[in-house]
Amino acid sequence: MSTEEMISVDYEIFGRVQGVFFRKYTQAEGKKLGLVGWVQNTEAGTVQGQFQGPSNKVRQMQDWLKSTGSPKSQIIKAEFKNEKNVKSLDHSTFKIVRP
C-alpha cells in the first residue's frame, strides 16, 4: 500500500491581495482541500504563508493561488519556494496569522 507523499511549500502572492478578504478565502480553500498551514499579510503589500499536505492537493492550491484567489483580488504573480517532502505535518489546521 503506497501512501501519497506529503509536501510543504512556502508561497508569496503579489497584486491586489490585501483588503479583499484574500486571507479568509485562502484559509477556506486550504481547509477545503484538507491542507494545513498559515497565511498572513506582509508590510510589502503581499500575502505569504505555507501549506502542507498531499502533493496533488498542494498542486490544486497552487493553481488556485495563481489564478483564482478572492473575488476582488487581482493576482499579478504567485511565487512558490522551499518545496520539500515532509514525513509529518507541522501544523494542525490552516490559520490566519496576524503579523
Which residues are designated catalytic?
Answer: 23, 41
Specify the DSSP class assigned to residue 27: H
Torsion sign over Cα 79, 15, 24, 97: positive
Integer Cα distance of 7 and 66 in angstroms: 18
Integer Cα distance of 11 and 75 in angstroms: 13
Ramachandran angles phi, psi of 43, nearest 5° = -65, -20
